[in-house]
Amino acid sequence: MRRALFEYELPADRIAQWPAEPRDAARLMHVDRASGERRADLTMRDLVDFVRPGDVWVVNDTRVRPARIRCTKPSGGKVELLVLEVRGTAVRAMYGASKPVRPGQVLFAASGARLTVTEAFGAGQVGVNLGAAPESWLEAHGEIPLPPYIGRPVEDADRQRYQTRFADRTGAVAAPTAGLHFTDALVAEMTTRGAHFASVTLHVGPGTFRPIRVEDVREHTVDAESYDVPSETATAIASARRVVAVGTTVVRALESAAVGPHRVRPGAAVTTLYVQPGHAFQIVDALLTNLHLPGSSLLVLVSAFAGLERVQEAYAQAVADGFRFYSYGDGMLIT
């Protein structure tokens, strides 16, 4: 299956640099999997009209860590760290620098705080001692890691607007972006209409932005990510009339935990599931998702769920109709 099937042309000005205000004012396209019919005149507030009594809308409650640290060497050289994992009083991080960073190297954050590189893991990753409890240190000195296609400086407001209203468990380096569209008022009205909200946790890693490089997309692999399905979510899914996944991360978690139709194994695990055309979906009946990068595993997942031709047509319309793409952009509901 050729990578070119998942490519499309996108004008640079369609990449959203700021989110819609308010959140539920973002545009929404509805795609019917069976008929292929589409509506592109909706906003996220219209999600209430798609609620069916007995629906379980599953969200990802991961919270984005202020994981980016812009550093300077004593020599003046620049180093950028992206924290991937907290390990006791230290962290494991990816780094970018003009020269290798070595154990024993001292770095200074933009705030002046001192860091020490403790070990090198290879593949551009190092261990770093922050000299304090990592989560508190990062809250004080770290920066929200906006995706690379957002070509502006991070603003103070991004600490709040790059988190979903469901964010609770810290550990992601990127937001589960379909959840960014929900407000308290929208959730309340959907609940009144009969929707039940349940959560899973999947800590989104940097691999979410890794493009497919191989010519045959079936040969691509995705990075491992940890997830957790609470027992109450497993119970809700077992009795659901319909399971609506809010985002591709929720799809990966639920389909990884599947043990049968509308049956998931509760608990924590690690997944390397790569959802591609031919996948037999056991849990997810409908999907709310943002508009994804060309040639990405996320676009392959959406195509597996809705059908490649349906997705190609929908994306062509979204481009033509001026939809805003990627993390801070508009979305699509596939039922």
Q: pLDDT tens digits, residue range 20-75?
A: 999 999 999 999 999 999 999 999 999 999 999 999 999 999 999 999 999 999 99
In the chain, the percentage of residues whose pLDDT exceeds 90 is 95
Dihedral (CA of 159, 252, 48, 322) sign? positive
Q: Per-domain residue ranges for the chain?
A: 3-64+159-334, 68-141
CATH superfamily of 3-64+159-334: QueA-like (3.40.1780.10)
How far CA 191 is from CA of 50, 97, 273, in Å, comes to 12, 48, 31
- pLDDT tens digits, residue range 218-250? 999 999 999 999 999 999 999 999 999 999 999
Residue 71: partners with Cβ closer than 8 Å, 6 or more residues away: 78, 79, 80, 81, 107, 108, 109, 110, 115
Q: Please report which confidence band the pLDDT of residue 122 belongs to, taking 50, 70 and 90 as the band edges.
A: confident
Give the pLDDT of residue 131.
85
Structure tokens at 96: 């970018």
Whether 200 contacts 228, CB under 8 Å = yes
What is the residue-averaged pLDDT of the chain? Answer: 96
- pLDDT tens digits, residue range 184-213? 999 999 999 999 999 999 999 988 878 899
Mode of pairing for the β-strands spanning 258-260 and 263-264: antiparallel
Give the pLDDT of residue 175.
97
Residue 14: partners with Cβ closer than 8 Å, 6 or more residues away: 319, 322, 323, 324, 325, 329
Q: Please report which confidence band the pLDDT of residue 88 belongs to, taking 50, 70 and 90 as the band edges.
A: confident
Rounded Cα distance, 271 and 94, in Å = 21
| Strand, coil or helix: 126 | strand
